[in-house]
């Protein structure tokens, strides 16, 4: 059973030809609202793509913006352990999605900024705690410390990017980052392999967009090529990856198996507009993998080279 602690937002999404630059006004097209927030998205992915009983600890305002979030979590069978912040609104995100499926996101944290250490729920029965950085870092540290003491595996998706103190990293079992987040934490602009060598966490997973992902677990590297798709919206791709991966590990899968399943779930999430609405079911992921498996490139030589590994490296596969 997984506990996700993190943010819950209502996303305001507009599609446009391209993402506006500084001072630029762009005429958009379709506008919709979707339940989102990294914490809520990852909880839905754990439950829907991963098929694991999932609880979400999140702070919400006492307002209308909370209602579609509650409904979406209910549809995904996520058990909401909500903290109501009367004097602050539910968090919101303003997202522009371009025709090439890229996005620009501005978040107004609202109630998310008031999830405090004392709000942590009873940890008995949970095997994994999954968190992000859209809630106060002091709360993330307190939750990680308590979870480690209770014997849970602590998974942190270090997004949005920021430097992290050594005392927080010391309480993390699995760190999930993209390239920018990896460089920020490592305080280094070298190769993926060089940055990973500077991070003292047992398992670090790096998502690499259209290239795929790599991971270093106790010094051993794992590589997973991305699945080839025509993306519509990448908004929840990273969150889907984190949730599906954590769920696979919770079910006893190896890290390599978890990377494979979560990469597939993430790819499918890019085929539909929206955050939680785009996250596929476990059955959808398995059916798609069965269909696409023979077409997927299993040779990771190019990915290994991109990450800075080469023939002769002690961890070269």
- What is the dotted CATH code of the domain comprising 2-7+37-87+116-306? 3.40.1190.20
| Burial of residue 80, with CB atoms counted within 10 A of its CB: 0-12 exposed, 13-18 middle, 19 or more buried | middle
Helix, strand, coil shares, percent, the chain, to 5: 35, 25, 40
Note the pLDDT of residue 100: 81
Note the pLDDT of residue 74: 95
Structure tokens at 250: 């919770």
Which residues are marked as active site? 239
Report pLDDT digits (tens) over 68-122.
999 999 999 999 999 999 999 999 989 898 888 788 888 899 999 999 999 999 9
CA–CA distance, 288 with 152 (Å, rounded to integer):
32
236 — pLDDT class (breaks 50, 70, 90): confident
Does 294 score more than 80 pLDDT? no
Does 126 score more than 80 pLDDT? yes
Report pLDDT digits (tens) over 128-150.
999 999 999 999 999 999 999 99
Does 293 score more than 80 pLDDT? no
Note the pLDDT of residue 311: 58
Q: Where are the domains of the chain?
A: 2-7+37-87+116-306
If DSSP codes are grouped into helix, strand and coil, which group holds residue 86? coil
Cis peptide before 191 (omega within 30 of 0): no
Structural contact between residues 4 and 42, judged by C-beta atoms closer than 8 angstroms? yes
Mean pLDDT of the chain: 90
How many other CB atoms sit within 10 Å of the CB of residue 120? 19
Task: Check residues 194 and 103 and name the one with the higher pLDDT.
Answer: 194
Note the pLDDT of residue 110: 96
If DSSP codes are grouped into helix, strand and coil, which group holds residue 270? coil
Helix pair angle (38-48, 237-250), 10° resolution: 50
Report pLDDT digits (tens) over 258-290.
999 999 999 988 887 777 878 888 888 888 888
Does 316 score more than 50 pLDDT? no
Stretch 233-242: mean pLDDT:
85
């Amino acid at each position: 059973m997984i506990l996700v602690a993190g943010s819950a937002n209502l996303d305001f999404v507009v599609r446009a030809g391209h993402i506006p630059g500084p001072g630029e006004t762009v005429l958009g097209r379709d506008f919709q609202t979707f339940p989102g927030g990294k914490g809520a998205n990852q909880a839905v992915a754990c439950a829907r793509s991963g098929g694991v009983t999932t609880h979400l600890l999140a702070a919400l305002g006492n307002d209308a913006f909370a209602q579609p979030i509650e409904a979406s979590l209910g549809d995904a069978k996520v058990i909401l352990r909500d903290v109501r912040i009367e004097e602050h609104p539910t968090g919101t995100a303003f997202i522009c999605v371009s025709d090439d499926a890229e996005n620009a996101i501005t978040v107004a944290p609202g109630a998310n900024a008031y999830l405090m250490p004392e709000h942590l729920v009873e940890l008995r029965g949970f095997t994994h705690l999954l968190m992000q950085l859209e809630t106060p870092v002091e709360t993330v540290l307190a939750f990680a410390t308590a979870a480690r003491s209770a014997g849970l595996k602590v998974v942190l998706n270090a997004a949005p990017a920021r430097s992290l103190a050594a005392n927080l990293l010391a309480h993390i079992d699995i760190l999930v980052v993209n390239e920018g987040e990896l460089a920020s934490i490592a305080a280094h602009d070298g190769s993926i392999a060089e940055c990973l060598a500077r991070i003292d966490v047992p398992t670090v997973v790096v998502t690499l967009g259209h290239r795929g992902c790599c991971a270093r677990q106790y010094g051993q590297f794992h590589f997973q090529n991305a699945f080839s798709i025509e993306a519509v919206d990448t908004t929840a791709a990273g969150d889907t990856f984190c949730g599906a991966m954590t769920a696979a590990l919770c079910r006893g899968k190896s890290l390599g198996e978890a990377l494979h399943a979560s990469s597939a779930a993430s790819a499918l999430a890019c085929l539909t507009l929206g955050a939680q609405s785009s996250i596929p079911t476990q059955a959808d992921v398995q059916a798609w993998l069965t269909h696409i498996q023979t077409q997927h490139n299993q040779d990771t030589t190019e990915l290994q080279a991109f990450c800075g590994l080469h023939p002769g490296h002690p961890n070269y596969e």
